[in-house]
């Protein structure tokens, strides 16, 4: 007999003494019906288990008859909640409940443009680029009366340009009144005292005509060029540079070398430039010849030279006595040398579209440089694309004419109604660019 302890007091209870169910307490005569009941229970249980199996087999048969694309998940998920059927326009990934609805974009928003497609590069095919140079020739034209007065009011139709005899079409036309960019190049050497004094007087007279927006550089030359002040807008700096020219050094006046060096430096300066050349025109000891300096002037663009001769009155006084004015100690100079120097200055001015001045008295200098200032500040700027587009480096002659609207010569009248003769000042030509094949 097995006993077990029950409770905390340590009392024991026997299984025989526990209360049994009423069926077990029934008389022994009822125990005969137990096998029959057990048989009935087993039959009912077997029938109940066979019903779900038959239903499950029927469902599988129906699903096998439908195509694979029409198979759908059961209406009731594992958690017992019914699933929601998504509308066909709703896209996106599916979940346990249903697909996540993604709102459609409104029709008003245009679709994003496709990314640009880069052409495929063929193997062995090099990259090529086409570059076209369209030359443009700029010509500054000065139109004045015989007395030097500027003729205003002209239009593009009043100008006729020809290049090597071929007429050209003017594309751009402006009247320039912009600030000037100029170099004051002065001859200052141990020559004739009168020449040095007049050179300084002419230099100060030009400095008095400057305006606050002008850019001026001051340089002088004897045996070689000397830069006193670089481009500046300070008028006091210009006067300070001129004040340094008091005691000359050498007696040589190498004009060609100094002018070549000045033009070479101006090639690196953008825009229109001017050279105010105050000189006697005598070259004594330059390494360069006249042909080389003329070639340099032809190859230089956007530079206008205004030569101003000094000592012209002293030269006439000596010529009246039958001999030439001395230029420097030990340097023989004849009248032919001075005439050749005057011709060279006129050539430099004509080739670049400037003017050469030969004042006799000091009182002429303010008016003279006033004319130079007006010539610089009041010019007609013309531009055209030449019909001869070859980049062969050749020198091409230019001819500029001023005509009336009807094609005839332009007539200008003064206040009294008399016809006034006009003068057209422009450069003689230019050198085309040279491209080496």
pLDDT at 227: 94
pLDDT at 421: 86
Helix or strand (DSSP H, E) at 165: none
363 vs 332: CA distance, rounded Å = 30
What's the Rg (C-alpha) of the chain?
Answer: 55
Mean pLDDT by 10 residues, the chain (437 residues): 43 43 46 56 62 52 48 48 53 54 57 73 64 76 81 89 93 82 92 88 92 92 93 93 88 93 91 92 92 92 91 87 83 88 93 90 87 83 90 90 86 80 88 73
Q: How far is CA 346 from CA 287, 355, 356, in A?
A: 22, 7, 5
CB 266: neighbour CB atoms within 10 A? 19
139 vs 272: CA distance, rounded Å = 11
Residue 307: strand, helix, or coil: strand
> What digits encode the pLDDT tens for the residues 245-300?
988 888 889 999 999 999 999 988 888 899 999 999 999 989 999 999 999 999 88
Q: How far is CA 216 from CA 179, 277, 286, in A?
A: 10, 13, 26
58 vs 5: CA distance, rounded Å = 57
pLDDT at 295: 92
Nearest CA among 112, 278, 87, 270 for reference residue 186: 278
pLDDT at 29: 46
140 vs 176: CA distance, rounded Å = 9
Question: Residue 87 — φ and ψ, nearest 5°?
Answer: -65, 155
Q: Strands 273-279 and 303-309: what pairing?
A: parallel
Contact at 8 Å (CB) between 296 and 344?
no
Burial 46-73 (b: 16+ CB within 10 A, else e): eeeeeeeeeeeeeeeeeeeeeeeeeeee
Phi-psi region of 175 (alpha: psi -120 to 50; beta: other; left: phi over 0): beta
Q: How many helices (H) and strands (E) does the chain have?
A: 8, 17
Residue 139: strand, helix, or coil: strand
Return all residues near 276 (Cβ < 8 A) that are at least 6 apart.
Answer: 182, 183, 184, 185, 206, 306, 308, 372
**Domains and their CATH numbers in the chain:** 137-176+388-431 (no CATH), 181-377 (3.40.50.410)
106 vs 12: CA distance, rounded Å = 85
Q: How far is CA 128 from CA 121, 125, 131, in A?
A: 12, 9, 10
Question: Residue 41 — φ and ψ, nearest 5°?
Answer: -65, -40
285 vs 29: CA distance, rounded Å = 163
3-state secondary structure 315-357: HHHHHHCCCCCCCECCECCCHHHHHHHHHHHHHHHHHHCCCCE
- Beta bridge mates, 395: 431
CA angle 13, 17, 22 (to 5 degrees): 135
Sign of CA pseudo-dihedral 164, 169, 171, 172: positive
């Amino acid at each position: 007999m097995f006993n077990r302890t029950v409770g905390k007091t340590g009392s024991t209870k026997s299984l025989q003494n526990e209360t049994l169910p009423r069926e077990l307490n029934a008389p022994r005569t009822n125990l005969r019906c137990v096998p029959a009941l057990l048989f009935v229970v087993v039959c009912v249980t077997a029938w109940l288990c066979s019903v779900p199996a038959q239903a499950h087999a029927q469902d599988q048969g129906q699903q096998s008859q439908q195509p694979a694309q029409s198979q759908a998940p059961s209406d009731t998920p594992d958690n017992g909640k019914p699933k929601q059927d998504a509308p066909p326009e709703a896209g996106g990934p599916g979940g346990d409940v249903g697909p996540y609805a993604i709102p459609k974009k409104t029709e008003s928003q245009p679709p994003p443009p496709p990314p640009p497609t880069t052409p495929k590069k063929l193997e062995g095919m090099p990259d090529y680029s086409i570059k076209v140079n369209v030359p443009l020739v700029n010509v500054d034209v000065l139109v004045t009366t015989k007395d030097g007065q500027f003729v205003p009011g002209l239009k593009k139709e009043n100008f006729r340009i020809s290049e090597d005899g071929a007429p050209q079409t003017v594309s751009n036309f402006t009247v320039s009144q912009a600030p000037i960019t100029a170099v004051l190049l002065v001859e200052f050497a141990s020559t004739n005292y009168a020449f040095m004094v007049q050179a300084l007087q002419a230099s100060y007279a030009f400095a008095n005509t400057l305006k606050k927006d002008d850019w001026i550089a001051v340089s002088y030359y004897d045996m070689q060029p000397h830069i006193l002040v670089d481009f500046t807008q300070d008028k006091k700096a210009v006067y300070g540079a001129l004040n340094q020219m008091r005691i000359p050094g050498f007696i040589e006046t190498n004009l060609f070398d100094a002018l070549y060096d000045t033009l070479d430096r101006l090639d690196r300066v953008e825009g229109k430039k001017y050279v105010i050349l105050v000189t006697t025109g005598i070259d004594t000891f330059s390494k360069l010849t006249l042909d080389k300096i003329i070639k340099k002037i032809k190859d230089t663009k956007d530079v206008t030279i205004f030569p101003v001769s000094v000592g012209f009155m002293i030269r006439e006084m000596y010529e009246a006595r039958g001999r030439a004015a001395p230029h420097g100690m030990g340097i023989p100079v004849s009248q032919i040398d001075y005439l050749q120097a005057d011709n060279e200055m006129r050539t430099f001015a004509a080739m670049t579209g400037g003017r050469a001045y030969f004042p006799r008295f000091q009182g002429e200098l303010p008016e003279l440089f006033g004319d130079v200032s007006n010539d610089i500040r009041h010019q007609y700027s013309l531009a055209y694309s030449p019909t001869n587009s070859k980049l062969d480096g050749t020198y091409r002659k230019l001819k500029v004419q001023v005509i009336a609207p009807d094609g005839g010569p332009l007539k200008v009248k003064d206040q009294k109604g008399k016809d006034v003769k006009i003068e057209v000042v422009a450069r003689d030509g230019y050198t085309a660019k040279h491209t080496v094949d």
